[in-house]
Chain A
Amino acid sequence: MVSLLSNPLATSDQLASSPSQSDGLTPDLEVSLRWAGSTLIQSAGILLRLPQPTIATAIILFQRFYLLASFRSFPVLATCHAALYLASKLTETPAKPRNIINVTKYLLKTPSASPVSPAQKEAAEGEGAYVDEHMYLYHRTRLLDMETEILKALGYQTHTGLPYTLTINYAQTLDCLSKPLLLRCFGYLTDALLSPSMLYLTHQPNALAAAALYLAARDEKVKLPEGWWEMFDVDREDLGFLVAGMKSVEEFVRSQKEAWGDGVPWDEKELEDAVRKRLHGAE
């Protein structure tokens, strides 16, 4: 599926003004909710056997949405559900709301199934990792509403060009295509989805692809010609920024996991508690 459209990017104003923060969230809470939501989507997508382009699309839609909306007004879990559902339709690999809801429930209830698992205590309390019919209908209604809320917030502009296949083209052009190299590239590109700098909202796919290739080539000790990124319309400054951003994701994720051993505040009540706590802490 080729498209000449470039991705809509966040403006500097949008990056500077966060609706969540205007709504009383501290910056660290916002960063963490973004990370947790993106990670939940990635893990759920894998369990749902959705292809990575679908998962990446969902994460990008999720992040674009919270560029324009507040985590306090639109609870994170329903947005994760809806982003997955919408992305699955957009990429012609439709997933069922029931499966999406069951999978996130499973992920949030199962200790160490993923970095997003919250308190182990709940699992210990014997709550099953299934969703009863009542809860299912509740989540489903919210999912469907959130789907349109996302479309509305994005002005139905859902185009999400991805860098994955571009890296293949670039590596081919540079005559360095190999499986280990490609796997590393894809690893960096998937990591980059979790970056607190929202790399996919600030850069076009060609720059992301070049940065991933740069890092992968370095890891694999592949020599590339001087200034090769210019062939792909990427300038040095952007490349440097993205390379730094991609490299720091691992450390960022480690710090988030450490900070949120008990799980991030997924539900509205937990979030309100967290907001209150921070408010008092600051005073």
Chain B
Amino acid sequence: MSSRWTDTAEDLAEATRLKEEKAAKRAAKERKRREAAAAAAAAAAATPTTSPPASKRQKTRNDASDAIAPERAKTKEPKLLRFNGATISACRHVETSYERLNHIEEGSYGIVSRARDLETAEIVALKRLKLERETDGFPITSLREVTTLMASREHPNVVRLREVVMGDTLKDVYIVMDFVEHDLKTLCEDMAEPFLLSETKTLLQQLLSATAYLHSHWILHRDLKTSNLLLNNRGQIKIADFGLARYTGDPAPPLTQLVVTLWYRAPELLLGATTYGFEIDLWSIGCIFGELLTRNPLLQGKNEIDQLSKIFELLGVPTESTWPGFRRLPNAKSLTFPKHSATTGSLLRTKFPLLTKAGVDLLGALLRLDPKSRISADDALMHEFFREEPRPKAAEMLPTFPSKAGQEKRRKAFSPGAPVRGDAPVLEGVVGGGVFGGVEEEAAGAGFSLRMGR
């Protein structure tokens, strides 16, 4: 097994050096941690359960005069508190805070890199936001990325946002996260054997737990897929890439349909639903579940129409009874469905012959065509599948994937990227032309075809 983050001899040497450095810094870190704990306690005291120090200061200031209080800063704000919602403090500079080690996405991206915190020697991931072409200021999508990530950073299965730092210009902005060793897509591609069922359960459980947390905080992720799921060497999944995430509400505001990478995109999105909800994330999780079982993406459509036909091929064509009202969805009108009724059944059983009945049941519940009858993250966590044998393995017992020094670049399998974003400010509710606008195309699936057109 290889990890592309420590794949050169230099890196190994670096790692050794780091280890020594780390030992040296441990004492300092320990002290820092104690300071932070003390400060955290103070911060906790600043919530209105007890009198906040801030308001105390304010009181004396108010009562006496407007003169500046003579006593000055005694302690610096501990850095670890940066995002605890307790203080208001400015961005640090990227160059003086981090030393960049290497790009994570080998050249192809160059926007996520591995770096070392110069103060603590910890390894982090720096994600540079793409702002150069912005004409409307700081993009709303990036604001959402930062705010949703910040709101969910306490969950053990969400990548932890550490801070946001800046470079020399106002367009030079970096999200700093904990560094996580692997992503599930690369792992699935490189693994000799798929995860064991007990391991798959653990991963799925963690993914569902984080998703339930996001949803309970009104956050839609909108781009769940294996390359956005990171896995550390302690068997913990970390949901990453909140680039398409946003807050939603009840009722859901009008939302753009240009979300979720094609292979993980729910049928209601493909059919052009103008409102959608948390169900779209659960569809993606269904696709990921299937992918973990076979190591291959479950539904690899070539385009929107092909994607729909692949979906219907696997799960059956929807009917008025399995998905009430689906024909009224904007893009359903231009669909021509095959006449034979044999295609309305699901092929999940046949596709996953080794999966237990409960497993197929959960997969089917996640991949329900009708979003209204799709299972929620909370309910999925309670599913029989997680209680029957084999039980989910303890996360710490998951295999670790050691890195091979000198490993060359991985050959990249093709996969579609996330929908365009950041290119233009996304105007929610406005869909450019519609995915099926004006196309006249035929996609053949097993036993039926879809005909699209006006």
Contact = CB atoms under 8 A, between A and B. Distances in A.
Interface residues of B, number: 56
A240 to B, nearest CB: 10
Interface stretch (A45-53, A169-177, A196-204, A275-283): A196-204
Contacts of B17: none
Contacts, number: 166
Contacts of A197: 58, 62
Contacts of B163: 155-156
B247 interface: yes
B143 A90 contact: yes
B420 interface: no
Contacts of A204: 47-48
Contact of A3 (B62, B73, B91, B217): B217
Interface in A63-89: 64, 67-68, 85-86, 89
Interface stretch (B77-85, B225-233, B381-389, B432-440): B77-85
Contact of A11 (B61, B77, B91, B164): B77
A159 B90 CA distance: 14
Given A203-B55, A238-B52, A17 B137 contact: no
A103 interface: no
Given A2-B218, A15-B61, A235-B50, A8 B87 contact: yes
B73 A85 contact: no
B71 A16 contact: yes
Nearest to B77: A11
B72 A3 contact: no
B140 to A, nearest CB: 5
B86 A9 contact: yes
B115 to A, nearest CB: 18
Given A17-B68, A143-B137, A159 B51 contact: no
A10 B68 contact: no
A35 to B, nearest CB: 14
Interface of A: 1-18, 21, 27-28, 31, 64, 67-68, 85-86, 89-90, 92, 94, 97, 143-145, 147-149, 151-159, 197-198, 201-204, 206-207, 233-235, 237-238, 241, 245
Given A202-B52, A245-B62, 9 more contacts: A5-B151, A9-B46, A10-B54, A11-B88, A14-B88, A90-B143, A159-B147, A203-B48, A235-B51
Interface of B: 46-59, 61-62, 66-69, 71-73, 77, 82-83, 85-91, 136-138, 140, 143, 146-147, 150-151, 163-164, 166, 170-171, 173, 217-218, 246-247, 249, 253, 425, 428
Nearest 4 Cβ contacts at the A-B interface: A12-B57, A156-B164, A16-B69, A148-B170
